Structure 1
Amino acid sequence: MARYHIETYGCTSNRGESRQIESALRDAGHYPVDGPEAADVAIMNTCTVVEKTERNMLRRAKELEAETADLIITGCMALAQGEEFRDEEIDAQILHWDDVPAAVTNGECPTPGPGTEPVLDGVVGILPIARGCLSNCSYCITKFATGRVDSPSVEENVEKARALVHAGANELRITGQDTGVYGWDDGERELPELLDRICTEIDGEFRVRLGMANPGGIHGIRDELADVFARHDELYNFIHLPVQSGSDTVLEEMRRQHRVEKFTEIVETFDETLDYWTLSTDFIVGFPTETAEDHAQSIALFREVRPEKVNVTRFSKRPGTDAAELKGLGGTVKKERSKEMSELKHEIVAEAYESMVGETREVMAVREGTGDSMKCRDDAYRQIIVQNASERGIEPGMTFEVDVTSHQTVYAFGDPI
């Protein structure tokens, strides 16, 4: 669990985005500290109103870079003028607001609050289907907080999902430390059954997004799971499959319960089953035993599978974990490897969104965005922003078609038809 420091500049919308970031970080077990010096990561939510503001943002970013271990820059200037920070050689991750919480996790499992009670946030229903995991990753402190997997029954989770939909949820987010091992504590692999029953037994207009599932748990049910995705339009064609490294040697040192071949076999299964889907994955760069060749293998795997949503995290030691006892790599090495992978990420993700321009997509409006905009998701959970939403009568929960008109690195813009 990480210590974080967040600074917010600009308008009310930015402050709202920071509140959402902080809420997600707290839900994942992270906690705030006073000042960047005491933080594992500093988050700067930027503004870009006038030239003077831009100069102030660059100055403060340089200060934060020197004061904290890792720096994440988000907000309006980061998204509209991210090259300004790169031109100043500021060593930071430039991320969309939505991607900040996952980037803070250091590759660890998410840590929700006590129990597995669902939460309704606007039109988004969050349903933790289980607590705990079966992994024993050498770098992860979350296992100390969550313990072994504990799965409520399929019937219980279906009822919780139904209650969320009846309460107004149009998007159900299925979450857990590792959704792929749901039911394993009872000797069953129940994730495909749960998703199938949610889609077939609950009345209403809603979409379902499956949360993080480790490759070790998914591999044995990959065919059945891909078939469930293909049969149900309610499921976003999206899967978060954290690989963490392209090197089997590093994966062994991390004590991950998969090797690269298992990961790629899952990706191949979904490629063969679904025409249009999004792969999300995570990479940890700079693990203490990672060599230059190991890093090159991660880059090669990245290029091979071309994930469209990627969390790139520099390794940092967590107290009490076995990996914390290893002699770490130098900060410069980690920065260089992180920079190379982040640049590749921007290239691949930008290509994915650029390919959408000129196409028509059906989307669901999920959350209000900056200014008078609406964040929407298409069938593969790609983000499409609709501007002047109130003028067009668009509200969260609505489903409609858009013409994709342009794109930024991690999202596209669309005009309702």
Structure 2
Amino acid sequence: MARYHIETYGCTSNRGESRQIERKLRDAGHRPVDGPSEADVAIMNSCTVVEKTERNMLRRAEELQAETADLIVTGCMAIAQGEEFAEAGIDARVLHWDEVPNAVGNGECPTTTAGTEPILDGVVGILPIARGCMSDCSYCITKHATGKIDSPPVEENVEKARALVHAGAKEIRITGQDTGVYGWEEGERKLHRLLDRICTEIDGDFRVRVGMANPKGIHGIREELADVFAEHDELYNFIHAPVQSGSNDVLGDMRRQHQVDEFVEVVETFDDRLDYWTLSTDFIVGFPSETDHDHAQSMALFRETRPEKVNVTRFSKRPGTDAADLKGLGGQVKKDRSKEMSELKQQIVGEAYESMVGETREVLAVEEGTGDSVKCRDGAYRQIIVQNASERGVEVGEFLEVEVTGHSTVYAFGEPV
């Protein structure tokens, strides 16, 4: 788990977003520290209300960069003027605020909530389907806290999902350390069976998003899983399969269990079954054994599979893990590789959202955004922002048609049809 330091500037909305970031970080097992010098990662939630504020933000980002190994900038200036940080020579990951919690992780599996009980947060129902992990990654400390996989019966999770829908959930988020190995300890992976039953046996209008599933876990059920996605409109056409590296040598040193071709086969299977879907993945750059050639292989895999949601993480040693004993790469090497991959990410994700402009999408309004806006998700879990929501009568929990009128790098803008 990472040690983090967070600073928030600006309005009440920014403070609310920081609270949500912190809640997700603590749920995932990360812990706050007193200052940036003690942190693995510093997070600056920025403001950009006037020119003087912009100068202050750049100056503070420069100070934080000097005090911590990894800097994330989010908030209004990150969204509206993110390029100014790079132009000022500041080496930071510039992210939308809801990308921050995943980006803080060092490629580690997330932890689930205590007792793996469901939570209703607005119209979002969070359903942890299992606890634990079958992997033994050399860099991950989470496994020491969670243990091996423990999967409740399918019937039990279906009933929990039904209870969330009856309580008002419009979006159910299936979570776990590794959803792809749900049922593994009983000798049968059951994720596809669970999803099929949730979609066929529960009445109501809702959507289901499947959380992180390691490539090895879903590779053996990739065809069954893709068929279930193709059959049910209730499922967002979205998978999060963290590959971590495009080099089999590095994957072996990470003890990741899968190889690159297995990840590619998962992607190809979903490409065959689904016309419109989103691949989310993670890359760790700067693992101690990663050579220039290994990094080039990761870049090539990125270009080949074109994931549209990507967490790029610089390797950071975690106490008690085997990778912590390895001789690390220099900080500049990690920064350079992270920058190169992040620039490719911006290009590919930007092109995906640009391709949507002018098209009409059915979306679910999931949560309130900044100001008078609402965050919506289309069938592939791409984010579309509807502005001036109250005057347009758009409310959270509503299904509606929107025309995509514009885009930022990581989301689109839509007008209700």
5+ residue gaps, structure 1: none
- State how far apart, in whole Å, the 1-side matches of 2:50 and 2:81 are: 12
Provide, for residues 233-276 of structure 1, a one-character-per-residue CA deviation record: whole Å limited to 9, x for no partner. Answer: 00000000000000000000000010000000000000000000
Match of 2:234 in 1: 234
What residue number does 1:209 align with?
209
Instruction: Find the counterpart in structure 1 of residue 267 from structure 2.
Output: 267
Task: After superposing the two structures, state which structure 1 stretch, 317-326 or 109-118, moved more.
Answer: 109-118
Post-superposition shift, 1:113?
A: 2.6
Distance 1:391 1:179 in 2: 40
Q: Following TM superposition, by how much is the alpha carbon of 1:189 offset from its aligned partner in structure 2, in angstroms?
A: 1.1
Distance 2:240 2:199 in 1: 19
In 1, the alpha carbon distance for the partners of 2:39 and 2:392 equals: 43
Q: SS in structure 2 opposite 1:402?
A: strand
Which amino acid is the alignment partner of residue 276 of structure 1? Y
Report 1:255-294 matches (<5 A): 255-294=255-294
Cα distance between partner residues in 2 of 1:88 and 1:409: 20
Measure the CA separation in 2 of the matches of 1:105 and 1:271: 28
| Residue in structure 1 matched with residue 14 of structure 2 by the alignment | 14
Partner AA of 1:243 in structure 2: V
Residue 109 of structure 2 corresponds to 109
Aligned length: 417
State the distance in 1 between where 2:283 and 2:343 align: 13
Q: Retained in 1: the 8 A contact 2:46–2:75?
A: yes
**Matches of 2:211 and 2:257 in 1, distance apart?**
18
Partner of residue 316, structure 2: 316
Q: Secondary structure at the match of 2:415?
A: strand
1:3-402 matches, cutoff 5 A: 3-402=3-402
SS of the aligned residue for 1:338 comes to helix
In structure 2, what is the Cα distance between the partners aligned to 1:168 and 1:261? 41
Deviations 1:70-92 (A, max 9, x none): 10000110011011101011011
Q: Is the 8 A contact 2:124 2:170 kept in 1?
A: yes
Deviation of residue 395 (structure 1)?
A: 1.2
Residue identity (%): 81
Alpha-carbon distance in structure 1 between the residues aligned to 2:10 and 2:188: 50
Q: In 2, distance between residues paired with 1:399 and 1:259?
A: 40
Deviation >4 Å, runs of 4+: none
Structure 2, gaps ≥5 residues long: none
Rounded to whole Å, the distance in 2 between the matches of 1:416 and 1:15 is: 29
- One-letter amino acid matched to 1:360: T
Letter in structure 1 aligned against 2:43 = I
Q: Give TM-score scaled by structure 1 length.
A: 1.00
Q: Deviations over 1:134-183 (max 9, x none)?
A: 00000000000000000000000000000001011000000000000000
- Which moved further from structure 2: 13-22 or 256-265? 13-22
SS at match of 1:56: helix
What's the secondary structure of 2:134's corresponding residue? coil
**How many angstroms apart in 2 are the aligned matches of 1:328 and 1:238?**
34
Partner SS, residue 296 of structure 1: helix
Q: Distance in 1 between matches of 2:271 and 2:112?
A: 31
Classify the secondary structure of the residue corresponding to 2:6. strand
The Cα shift of 1:187 comes to 1.3
Secondary structure in 1 matching 2:168: coil
Determine helix, strand or coil for the equivalent of 1:267: helix
In structure 2, what residue type is equivalent to 1:318?
R
1:33 alignment partner AA: V
Correspondence for 1:405: 405
Letter in 2 for 1:6: I
| Distance across 1 between alignment mates of 2:47 and 2:362 | 31
For the 8 Å contact 2:250–2:294, the answer to whether it is kept is yes
Report deviation, 1:26. Answer: 0.7
3-state SS of paired residue (1:106): coil
| Structure 1 residue 69 displacement after superposition | 1.2
CA RMSD of aligned residues (A): 0.5
Q: Whole-Å Cα distance in 1 between the matches of residues 12 and 413 of structure 2?
A: 22
Q: How many Å separate the matches in 2 of 1:286 and 1:190?
A: 35
Report the AA paired with residue 287 of structure 1.
Answer: F
Paired with 2:315 and 2:339, the residues of 1 have a C-alpha distance of 13
Amino acid at match of 2:360: T
The alignment partner of 1:139 has SS state of coil
Q: Is the 2:113–2:128 contact (alpha carbons within 8 Å) kept by the matching residues of 1?
A: no
Distance in 2, Cα, partners of 1:230 & 1:179:
19
Measure the CA separation in 1 of the matches of 2:162 and 2:29.
27
Amino acid in structure 1 at the alignment position of 2:147: G
* Structure 2 Cα separation of the partners of residues 359 and 207 of structure 1: 21
The TM-score, its normalising length taken from structure 2, stands at 1.00
